[in-house]
Amino acid sequence: MGREEVSASEFEEHVGKALKTRYKQRDGWRIRRTRRDIYRGMTSICDFVLRNEKTGETVVVDAKRKKSLEPSDIYQLLRYKKRFKASEAIFYVLADTAFNRQAMEENEIEVRRAKPKPKRAGAPKVEYGKVEYGEVEHPKVKYP
């Protein structure tokens, strides 16, 4: 699955579903998808903050749909970890994303690979073209 086939919002949605599977509400986990307008003073914010209401543990998660993770991405996630006083920091990346394992281990960051499926798998592909008998735009449907 390439970056072109999955939008950033679809990837974040996939990560949210994966988190709900792994961090169960019955075990005390509350998963919150963060929004930029909630946290004033920060120019950017991680995608998810997980809090366990039973243990008080906090986990920050950032979904990255990039070819490779850069040192700036690591620094950014470490800032989130400090800001939210989190015990864990996790990157979710696409299956083909490159990253430095040693840097992740040294900074105690977990990297999980995600393999999202395109939302409209099997749906017909629509191409717009001109109809033979007029100047009107008409969709031409091609089935896979």
The overall pTM is greater than 0.75 = no
Per-residue pLDDT tens for 73-124?
Answer: 999 999 999 988 999 999 999 888 899 999 999 999 999 988 776 655 554 4
Task: Count CB neighbours of 46 within 10 A.
Answer: 25
Q: Where are the domains of the chain?
A: 3-142
State how far the Cα of 141 lies from the Cα of 124, in Å rounded to an integer.
6
Residue 2 has pLDDT above 70, yes or no: no
Structure tokens at 12: 């974040």
- Spelled out in words, what is the top-level CATH class assigned to the domain 3-142? alpha beta
- Under 8 Å between Cβ of 62 and 77: yes
Per-residue pLDDT tens for 46-63?
Answer: 889 999 999 999 999 999
Question: 13 pLDDT band (50/70/90 cuts)?
Answer: confident
Query: Which residue from 75, 73, 84 is spatially nearest to 48, judged by alpha carbons?
Result: 84
